[in-house]
Amino acid sequence: MIYYKKNQVFEAVDENTERCVVTHSDEIMAVRVRFKEATSDVELHQHVEEQVTYVVRGKLKFFENEKEYLVEAGDMLRFAPNVPHGCIVLEPDSEVLDTFTPIRKDFL
């Protein structure tokens, strides 16, 4: 299957963040997440799904428990299930591609 960029619809998550569920099956989900502005606060969260994050553009600082990772376009991260994590956006117009397995039903 193919999912053309021109057909992808983003929804607002909050005033700075929007996401688009690009594709999903019963077992895997890909989600584009765009950030309008840089941020300074991080709220850690966790979920039962395993997550792989690919940085499409921009710079971000991710937090995982007590660890910090400075990442930029081309870098990838993986978060095991139930591990607290989150990020701050260091450059406006940053974007990531998150992949989850199993799917995040709360995103549908």
60-82 pLDDT, tens digit each: 999 998 899 999 999 999 999 99
- CA distance linking residue 102 with residue 8, whole number of Å: 21
Model-level pTM?
0.95
Tens-place pLDDT, residues 36-65: 999 999 999 999 999 999 999 999 999 998
- pLDDT bin (cut points 50, 70, 90) of residue 100 is very high
Q: List, in sequence order, every beta strand (DSSP E) within the chain.
A: 11-12, 17-24, 29-35, 50-57, 59-64, 67-72, 76-79, 85-89, 94-101
pLDDT of amino acid 70: 98
pLDDT of amino acid 30: 98
